[in-house]
Structure 1
Amino acid sequence: MNFGGYLRGAIHAAGFPTPTHFARAVGTDPSVVLRWLSGEQRPTIRSIERIAPVLGRSINELVLAAYPDRLGAEKAPEPAAHPLVQELGRILADDSPIPAADREALETVLDRMIDPYRKVLRRRRSA
């Protein structure tokens, strides 16, 4: 994954509906954020220092994501999953203290709720 993909995931995980909302929150022009997302430009260290806390990431993590070629890394790290994803993983795990019947019911409900979005997400990724 390149920095643009990493940043897109981090912006989404931080709860911003669009890159423009994120840009406004960090005091950066939206066109700059769009250049970061497209890979046309990478953020400066000063920009990274400003955006890291807003994204809930460390400065080191963002530097590694933006400049893997300079730090000996092959690619940007994957953004951390949304906290709900992590919580659901624990709830639905085989070793969860939740009764198996409740886990199965929750899994069925979630599967049905998510199903309409699967086509949309597949199209977006392949575009």
Structure 2
Amino acid sequence: MATDAPPPSGFGPYLKEAIHAAHFPTPTHFARAVGTDPSVVLRWLSGEQRPTIRSIERIAPVLGRSIHEIVVAAYPNRVSDEPPPIAAAHPLVHELGLILADDSPVPAADRVALATVLDRMIDPYRKVLRRRRSA
């Protein structure tokens, strides 16, 4: 008898499916593989607790999932599936990237000199930019 009920939602069911899909026989085996206590994994599965970002960074590769995917599953109300918009860079950024790249036709000594000069010129603005980001 088939039902049309939607699959259970939340991080617990997501993690249970991911553990099964990664071919771990039990949550305990998974916990050992990621270096965490089995009781922590059981709290994640029950919905009693959600993983920290540090835990997500450890479990994502073991489950064959991206960190972003697991963060969205664990914190759906805090994370948008849409990546944040990237501000358009100045046209010189791309050009400098090409000039300073390891495979650039510009001689290595010239690339080093240019990078040194640019680093010195940009240095006074780094403090201002750091203050602006943290505000």
Both proteins in one fold, TM over 0.5: yes
Measured against aligned partners, the alpha-carbon deviations of 1:33-85 in whole angstroms (never above 9, x if no partner) come to 00000000000000000000000000000000000011257xxxxxxxxxxxx
The superposition leaves residues 20-40 of structure 1 with CA deviations (integer Å, 9 ceiling, x where unpaired) of 000000000000000000000
Structure 2 unaligned spans of 5+: 1-8, 82-135
Would you say how many aligned residue pairs link Structure 1 and Structure 2? Answer: 73
Kept in 1, the 8 Å contact 2:72–2:80? The answer is no
Runs (4+) of structure 1 exceeding 4 A deviation are none
- Does the residue aligned with 2:39 lie in a helix, a strand or coil? helix
For residues 67 and 29 of structure 1, what CA distance do their matches in structure 2 show? 21
Identity in percent: 82
What letter corresponds to residue 64 of structure 1 in structure 2?
A: V
- What residue ranges of structure 1 are gaps of 5+ in the alignment? 74-127
Q: Secondary structure at the match of 2:31?
A: helix
SS in 2 for 1:31: helix
TM-score in terms of structure 1 length: 0.56
Between 1 and 2, higher relative CO (CA 8 Å, sep ≥ 6) is seen in: 1
1:68 to 76, 79, 84: 76
Query: What is the aligned partner in structure 2 of residue 16 from structure 1?
Result: 24
Aligned match for 1:48, one of 53, 56, 68: 56
Q: Pairwise CA RMSD of aligned residues?
A: 1.0
If the length of structure 2 is used for normalisation, what is the TM-score? 0.53
